[in-house]
Amino acid sequence: MVRWRRLSGLLAAALAAVTAGSLTLAAPAAAADDSFTPNVVGGTRAAQGEFPWMVRLSMGCGGALYSSRLVLTAAHCVGATGTNTSITATLGVVDLQSASRITVRSNYVYRAPGYNGAGKDWALIRLATPVTTLPTLKIANTTAYDNGTFTVAGWGAPYEGGPQQRYLLKANVPFVDDNTCNASYSGDLIPAEEICAGYTSGGVDTCQGDSGGPMFRRDAAGAWIQVGIVSWGYGCARPNFPGVYTQVSYFASAIASAAASLGG
């Protein structure tokens, strides 16, 4: 079964058209019941500048600006570590068709060492030119913020099997403890590496096209801090199936080391 909240190749091509303003998407039929998928279901439109470090990636994923040259995203969104000039990052806007959007090509991808489709779902994309006009999103390096209520945002589908969005959507989701989450997913969770969030009743979640985007909350000083990376889930916003996110605090030192090696 497909477990990711990344777009297929055809949908990624459609996303590129949405970004360019050349396509209007109609809602397709609902996804099959046995599909694992990650858009923000139950969300509302974000205001321009509200989350200025959000990034849209041309392969149909999200990300966050880790530094002026690096985007933090999900490993399942990218290929192997190495030179890669095929990805376009769109930044600085909530409207993907805005004339003020910033677009930058990639020049290198770093995928988490040992990634094999289960856990270790993080990657860094190095941009060909730095983006110095936007703030970055710091990552959690302790578990102190791995609880409470989180915010998610993305341009993915607003319902399971739905179309990608032109405007950035946001939503709040509560923490779900590892035991409860693991029971929902019949033991497929990797508790040390993954963190869950969502409502027992469903209705609010990330969805197809949100993979790689950040899950974040306020830290003790009131600043935004990233605690998760959109990874996978069963359907979108289904009751008793919370979203599953890469637990950033677990990988913080590895991410920092990789970023340093990439010059960022």
Angle made by CA atoms 16, 22, 23, in degrees to the nearest 5: 80
210: phi then psi, degrees, rounded to nearest 5: -95, -10
Q: Which of 58, 121, 184, 210 is catalytic?
A: 121
Query: Is-catalytic flag, 210?
Result: no
Q: Which of 58, 67, 76, 231 is catalytic?
A: 76
Asked if 2 contacts 232 with a C-beta cutoff of 8 angstroms, the reply is no
Query: Is-catalytic flag, 211?
Result: yes
Token pair 């605690």: residue: 227
Tell me the CB-side half-sphere exposure of residue 55, using CA atoms within 13 A.
36
Q: Which of 67, 184, 211, 231 is catalytic?
A: 211
Nearest to 43 by CA among 181, 156, 149: 156
CA distance linking residue 49 with residue 161, whole number of Å: 28
Buried b (16+ CB within 10 A) or exposed e, 134-163: bebbbbbbeeebbeeebbbbbbbbbbbbbb
Query: Is-catalytic flag, 86?
Result: no
- Do the strands 102-111 and 123-127 form a parallel or antiparallel pair, or are they unpaired? antiparallel
Active-site residues: which are they?
Answer: 76, 121, 211
